[in-house]
């Protein structure tokens, strides 16, 4: 190859490289009169995501004149929007999704198929990073922009039937249906009368204490029973107390009473009391009140008028302390007073005796509970003097164990 030929090939190669470099360099249109303003125009508001596609005239400015033949209209189809960063595209997508969640965009004008197709295409382009607006014509971009603006401008309405599938039932974004009369009726049905207010006849039997006691003179069996039958206001009630020591009945009495409720927590009682032991049988007229001055505190106050002008009064109180739902501690107190001395029955006038007890029970069922405890008695006044004359103790403490049940 001659020297001239080599020089010619090197010149041709240089010209080819210069031409390729010029073809790869984008043409700067900023010097054109119609494009200089577009390059210098401020960035539009964020509400118009496609504001960069068209110039926004200033307020009060005259409408732009029609394009002259010397300056052809800008063809957005030749503009490559692939230069948009991935962060910018993600920001646009997040704003779009936020408007959909907040109900600011009403898709009532679009069918469900169109919305799903548009959403899928948008997501696919975002995932692939291929959102290239250069493939869209100016008319297509304008149409998409008008659809966005129309959806924001339309008032929020209930989604149409074909849009219900966009928010499945039970999802957080599912619309709440309006409240109807049928819903209110289902939420607040007519309730049947409560059993306590229906009238009729009810009953209760309570063995509050049925226990063995470790007495000084031997083993004793003691009981305290009560019950009633009737309605909510008037009832026929009974009470029974007694003690058997080494197979012999030391004390026994039975009361039959008519109970009448005077308030939700109090009732009056009136009836008869029959003493079987000690001494010969004796009959009393009984009247008094019973109720709950405090929740869980059950009290009885009864006065008696007996044969031969004898009179007596008895006060009872017991309180349930819930240590747990099943373990219950019950203190009990009883006081007796008499108007006259009765040596046959071993009682004296005035304050006769007091009895205090403390029992701990475990409710295997609410209706049945075994218990253990201690019981203490003390005689006072003339009754104590009569016991001393008979050579008996005026004070005694006993261990007890028994069961409490009701039905």
CA pair distance 104, 94, nearest whole angstrom: 14
Is 20 a domain residue? no
Higher pLDDT, 242 or 13: 242
Domain range enclosing 293:
200-406
R_g of the chain computed on alpha carbons: 51
Is 103 a domain residue? no
Is 270 a domain residue? yes
CA pair distance 127, 375, nearest whole angstrom: 84
Percentage of the residues of the chain whose pLDDT score is greater than 70? 56
CA pair distance 126, 90, nearest whole angstrom: 7
pLDDT digits (tens, 9 = 90+) for 193-242: 655 555 689 999 999 999 999 998 889 999 999 999 999 999 999 999 99
pLDDT digits (tens, 9 = 90+) for 319-343: 999 999 999 999 999 999 999 999 9
101: Cβ–Cβ under 8 A, 6 or more apart, which residues?
173
Is the whole model's pTM more than 0.85, yes or no? no
Burial class, 379, CB count within 10 angstroms (exposed 0-12 / middle 13-18 / buried 19+): buried
Total domains in the chain come to 1
Is 214 a domain residue? yes
User: What 3-state DSSP class applies to 266?
Assistant: strand
DSSP 313-334: EEEEEEE-EESSSSEEEEEEEE
CB 14 within 8 A of CB 6: no
pLDDT of residue 108: 47
Is 99 a domain residue? no
List the CATH number of the domain containing 238: 2.40.160.40
Which residue has tokens 């936020």?
98
Query: Could you tell me the two tokens for 6?
Result: 């080599």
Phi, psi torsion values for 360, nearest 5 degrees: -115, 120
Distance set, CA 186 to CA 172, 193, 194, 334, 394 (Å): 24, 18, 20, 53, 68
Is 164 a domain residue? no
pLDDT digits (tens, 9 = 90+) for 83-94: 555 566 566 656
Is 187 a domain residue? no
Distance set, CA 355 to CA 84, 314, 318 (Å): 95, 11, 12
Is 1 a domain residue? no
CA pair distance 56, 73, nearest whole angstrom: 16
pLDDT of residue 13: 60
- In 213-273, where does DSSP find H-type helix? none
């Amino acid at each position: 190859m001659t020297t001239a030929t080599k020089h010619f090939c090197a010149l041709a190669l240089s010209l080819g490289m210069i031409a390729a470099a010029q073809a790869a360099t984008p043409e700067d249109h900023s010097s054109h009169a119609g494009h200089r303003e577009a390059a210098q125009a401020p960035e539009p508001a964020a509400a118009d995501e496609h504001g960069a596609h068209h110039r926004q005239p200033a307020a009060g400015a005259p409408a732009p004149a029609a394009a002259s033949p010397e300056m052809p209209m800008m063809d957005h189809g030749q503009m490559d929007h692939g230069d948009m960063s991935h962060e910018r595209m993600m920001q646009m997508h997040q704003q779009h999704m936020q408007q959909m969640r907040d109900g600011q965009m009403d898709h009532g004008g679009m069918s469900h198929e169109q919305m799903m197709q548009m959403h899928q295409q948008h997501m696919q382009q975002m995932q692939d990073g291929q959102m290239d607006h250069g493939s869209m014509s100016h008319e297509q971009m304008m149409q998409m922009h008008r659809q966005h603006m129309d959806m924001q401008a339309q008032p929020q309405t209930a989604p149409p039937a074909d849009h219900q599938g966009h928010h499945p039932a039970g999802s957080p974004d599912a619309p709440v249906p309006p409240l109807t009369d049928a819903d209110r009726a289902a939420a607040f049905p007519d309730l049947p009368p409560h059993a306590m207010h229906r009238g009729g006849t009810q009953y209760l039997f309570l063995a509050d204490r049925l226990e063995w006691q470790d007495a000084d003179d031997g083993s004793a069996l003691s009981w305290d029973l009560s019950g009633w039958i009737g309605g909510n206001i008037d009832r026929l009630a009974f009470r029974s107390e007694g003690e058997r020591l080494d197979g012999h009945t030391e004390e026994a009495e039975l009361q039959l009473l008519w109970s009448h409720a005077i308030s939700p927590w109090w009732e009056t009682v009136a009836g008869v009391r029959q003493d079987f032991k000690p001494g010969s049988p004796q009959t009393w007229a009984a009247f008094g009140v019973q109720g709950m001055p405090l929740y869980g505190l059950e009290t009885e106050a009864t006065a008696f008028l007996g044969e031969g002008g004898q009179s007596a009064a008895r006060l009872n109180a017991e309180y349930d302390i819930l240590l747990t739902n099943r373990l219950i501690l019950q203190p009990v107190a009883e006081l007796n007073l008499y108007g006259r001395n009765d040596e046959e029955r071993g009682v004296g006038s005035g304050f006769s005796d007091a009895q205090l007890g403390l029992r701990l029970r475990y409710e295997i069922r609410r209706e049945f509970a075994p218990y253990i405890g201690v019981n203490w008695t003390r005689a006072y006044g003339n009754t104590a003097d009569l016991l001393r004359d008979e050579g008996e103790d005026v004070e005694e403490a006993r261990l007890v164990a028994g069961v409490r049940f009701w039905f």
